Structure 1
């Protein structure tokens, strides 16, 4: 899934996302479970918001994303802050050139839900384990089944901003626990004219038990699983599920 023209309005779509809370949570997990290592790979980094925030906390960040356009924005943000963050255009399922390079790998903002096949998720986990030092951490999140079924599927969201307006329709997908997103943006230019950007996205989520099994098969032990930024048990109505896993020693 390539963002193309969508990259330019992605930050508008995500402007209510609590990025600072996200970075603080990741920092707390890295401190809690880490081995004081500071080298972190932000996979599916998007426009680099969390990458930059963690760099500000003192981590030696690297970013990777499939979308060239998203990466261009991430590079611009890092350069504006004079942050020496390397970025790579790579697929999380087929990472190359990063063997045993990182103390932690993170995948944020339900990016794993864009992997629509079970084997793709398994490939991503195996790719991550190859990038980590022994005892390295893997931190990520996914949409809950509850959110896919009861909040997203069948819903329409709209936002009329001064420069960008959005209509976002969600439909139940063909695959199990999946949704399809139809997004239409109207973006005003400097001459007060509007251009239209249409995007079609698909996401799929998975049972927690499946995630646990695939992590174990890839070479991880699960350290913690919780919902909605609140460490502890996952409630039935949690919308986002977070995982903290550690690579087992060879």
Structure 2
């Protein structure tokens, strides 16, 4: 599932996201020093740009052409960007670390597609390299998102975000309605997007990672800083390729 027009508003609406915490998490496993990174589901390129600023050699991948267009405006021609499905990566290179951050893996709804994603990532990780990703917890899907409404009301943009229990087990449907101001005509344009996310028990992700050939070295919460608890919000996985 790819972002559409939302891509061009994403950075404004997500301006308070602590992207540096993802960078600190990566540095626990792969210090920069010229290390190579494949930033899968790179979105608008904010973390991609941070990788570059912190001294990593980074390549970005995203399914959404709209997201990649925004990313290209940030990184220019310094970072190769590819429009690819994460379950069918074909970069022609291996990397010291592959990342899938900002709960992007939760957009993969089918179990077999997650397995294919892990297998595809495995082929792009160097020997003794790392695969790092985060997902929403079950608690966040069922107790924070489901049947809730979130709003943003700014001068230039407003958002009504309705969340419902999804069709799949442990999934949530996001109905997003945007109103963006037209400065020339002093009225607002409306557009809608529909997104679905799904998550699984940590033990299930561990099983799939091991089936793909990875050794799981860490499962932590909140950017790797806390133990996983029943009410943890975001779960971080670190897996190493050592076969």
Scaled to the shorter chain, the TM-score interval is over 0.9
Counterpart position of 2:53: 56
Counterpart position of 2:209: 215
- Unmatched 5+ residue regions in structure 2? none
Counterpart position of 2:12: 12
1:132 Cα deviation from its structure 2 partner: 1.1
Length-normalised TM-score, structure 1: 0.93
Counterpart position of 2:141: 148
Give distance in 2, aligned partners of 1:169 and 1:97. Answer: 36
Length-normalised TM-score, structure 2: 0.96
Find runs of 4+ consecutive structure 1 residues off by over 4 angstroms.
none
1:108 Cα deviation from its structure 2 partner: 0.5
Give distance in 1, aligned partners of 2:8 and 2:224. Answer: 31
Q: RMSD in angstroms over aligned alpha carbons?
A: 1.4
Aligned match for 2:62, one of 62, 65, 84 = 65
DSSP 3-state at the match of 2:147: coil
Counterpart position of 2:160: 167
Counterpart position of 2:187: 193
Counterpart position of 1:180: 173
Give distance in 1, aligned partners of 2:34 and 2:49. Answer: 18
Counterpart position of 1:240: 234
Number of corresponding residues:
242
DSSP 3-state at the match of 1:147: helix
- Unmatched 5+ residue regions in structure 1? none
Give distance in 2, aligned partners of 1:37 and 1:121. Answer: 29
1:54 Cα deviation from its structure 2 partner: 1.2
1:230 Cα deviation from its structure 2 partner: 4.1
1:148 Cα deviation from its structure 2 partner: 0.3
Residues 101-140 of structure 1: pairs in structure 2 closer than 5 A? 101-140=94-133
1:27 Cα deviation from its structure 2 partner: 2.1
1:8 Cα deviation from its structure 2 partner: 1.0
Give distance in 2, aligned partners of 1:193 and 1:47. Answer: 27
Contact 2:25–2:224 (Cα < 8 Å) also in 1: no
The yes-or-no answer on 1:42 pairing with 2:35 is: no
Give distance in 2, aligned partners of 1:129 and 1:177. Answer: 26
DSSP 3-state at the match of 2:86: coil
1:232 Cα deviation from its structure 2 partner: 4.2
Give distance in 1, aligned partners of 2:20 and 2:91. Answer: 30
Give distance in 2, aligned partners of 1:98 and 1:170. Answer: 39
